[in-house]
Amino acid sequence: MAVAWMNSVDRARRQRTLQGTQRKLPDSRGLLSFSDNDYLGLAENPRVAEAAIRAIKNSGTGARAARHLAGPCPEHTSLEKALAEWKGAEAALVFASGYQTPLGVLPALVGPKDTALLERNAHACLFDGARLSGARLRLFARNNPDSLAEALTSSQNLNPEGRILIVAESLHSMDGDFLDLKSLVTLKNRFGAWLLLDEAHASGVIGPEGAGWAADQGLSEEVDVQMGTLGKALGSSGGFVAARAPVIDHLLNEARTFLFGTAPAPAAMAAAGQALQIVRSAEGDNLRGKLWQNIRLYSAGQAEPKNGPIQTRIFGSNDRTLQARDSLRAGGMEVAAIRPPTVPENTARLRISLSARHSKPEISRLLQGLAQLRNV
């Protein structure tokens, strides 16, 4: 039996190697990173680090258990209050990771009698949460109101008594485009659906006080559940949702990844809390200004730039994408090579993440490295 298992594992590895999808953890030491999501450069901010150290001294290194067992922790409750205020919501709830958040939230909101409508290329965590819910899963094309209207109509006709939850990313994690939120909200209201908006990549980056795309569009009150992460612009780790108080109370009682998972470490919560203070301050405005300067600087040298910190260079084949990544690595830069199944077949790409911490010479160096890829 053990031999059969290992043969299966070996076959899978050989197949990945043949397809160009075999992965290993990169060693990026000494390389200029354009592959992480530290959009404001707060992961190495001294005050953020000091807040984490204070929390370790006050509350220890671990949360000890799920919060229903271990009891209140000041770092958790303080951060949740600040997140709710930031997002213009009544309450918020933190989870141990961004990935675990929808795995708990979606099954608590919809079930087998309901429908979850997801963007066709939504993040894997959203698909996994929808599948765990047991709800009927339907797909629609991003930023295509006709596709969404068709999915809403058919879902309502097939299951008139069931609830419909629309799930979308405000800033797409792999394509780098912003959501047409106004059109989506119009359709959501017409059909009486709910909306879960994943603001993981937009929070901290755009909107008043960096509150995200919904705030930027003046539509925060139209979003039923705002989901976010602490591991990108906030420079820490963990995930959260913000919503009306009864919804958060429901999730506190029904979201299994919250109920049965060990809570996030107090140090991570304190770090995110300090980062959030910076994000909402004049210093945060300056950091966002620097980020958008870098976006404009990068975009000036590209034929089809994205209007945000996530930029892409699509090569199509896995081999060409890996060659491009390795060429940039040889030049001292780390850029992520994104291949299926993370993105659809034949759309393998370089995913470039810009940050406020990047200098103008570093952006110019990246542009020079990309210009040399024309023959790849």
Measured between alpha carbons, how far is 59 from 266 in angstroms, rounded to an integer?
Answer: 7
- What is the domain extent for residue 73? 46-279
Q: Are 353 and 43 in contact (CB under 8 A)?
A: no
* 70 and 33 belong to one structural domain: no
Q: Is position 201 annotated as part of the catalytic site?
A: yes
Last residue of a domain, one of 237, 261, 279: 279
* 207 and 324 belong to one structural domain: no
Does the predicted model carry a pTM greater than 0.85?
Answer: yes
* 246 and 328 belong to one structural domain: no
Q: What is the pLDDT of residues 302-322, one digit of tens each?
A: 888 999 999 999 999 999 999
Say whether 249 sits in a helix, a strand or coil.
helix
- Nearest C-alpha neighbor of 310 from the set 203, 201, 226: 201
* 203 and 331 belong to one structural domain: no
* 102 and 167 belong to one structural domain: yes
Q: What is the CATH number of the domain that holds 355?
A: 3.90.1150.10
Q: Is position 169 annotated as part of the catalytic site?
A: yes
How is residue 45 written in tokens? Answer: 């901010």
> Which is the catalytic residue, given 76, 123, 188, 306?
123
* 247 and 102 belong to one structural domain: yes
Q: What's the pLDDT score for residue 359?
A: 97
Q: What's the pLDDT score for residue 376?
A: 57
Q: Is position 286 annotated as part of the catalytic site?
A: no
Q: What is the pLDDT of residues 107-140, one digit of tens each?
A: 999 999 999 999 999 999 999 999 999 999 999 9
* 170 and 29 belong to one structural domain: no
Q: Is position 232 annotated as part of the catalytic site?
A: yes
Measured between alpha carbons, how far is 95 from 87 in angstroms, rounded to an integer?
Answer: 16
- Nearest C-alpha neighbor of 288 from the set 357, 364, 227: 357
With a CB cutoff of 8 Å and minimum separation 6, the contacts of 164 are 114, 115, 117, 152, 155, 156, 191, 192, 193, 194
* 34 and 61 belong to one structural domain: no
> Which is the catalytic residue, given 80, 169, 175, 199?
169
Q: What's the one-letter identity of residue 177?
A: D
- 292: in domain: no
When divided into structural domains, the chain yields a total of: 2
* 141 and 66 belong to one structural domain: yes
- 256: in domain: yes
Q: Is position 37 annotated as part of the catalytic site?
A: yes
Q: In which element (H, E) is residue 313 found? A: strand 310-316
CA distances in angstroms from 292 to 118, 243, 280, 307, listed in the order given: 29, 29, 16, 9
* 29 and 166 belong to one structural domain: no
Last residue of a domain, one of 279, 297, 318: 279
* 241 and 205 belong to one structural domain: yes
- 5: in domain: no
Q: Is position 222 annotated as part of the catalytic site?
A: no
Task: Print pLDDT tens along the chain (376 aa).
Answer: 677 888 899 899 999 988 888 988 888 788 999 999 999 999 999 999 999 999 999 999 999 999 999 877 999 999 999 999 999 999 999 999 999 999 999 999 999 999 999 999 999 999 999 999 999 999 999 999 999 999 999 999 999 999 999 999 999 999 999 999 999 999 999 999 999 999 999 999 999 999 999 999 999 999 999 999 999 999 999 999 999 999 999 999 999 999 999 999 999 999 999 999 999 999 999 999 999 999 999 999 788 899 999 999 999 999 999 999 999 999 999 999 999 999 999 999 999 999 999 999 999 999 999 999 876 5
Q: What's the pLDDT score for residue 375?
A: 61
Q: Is position 45 annotated as part of the catalytic site?
A: no
* 231 and 247 belong to one structural domain: yes
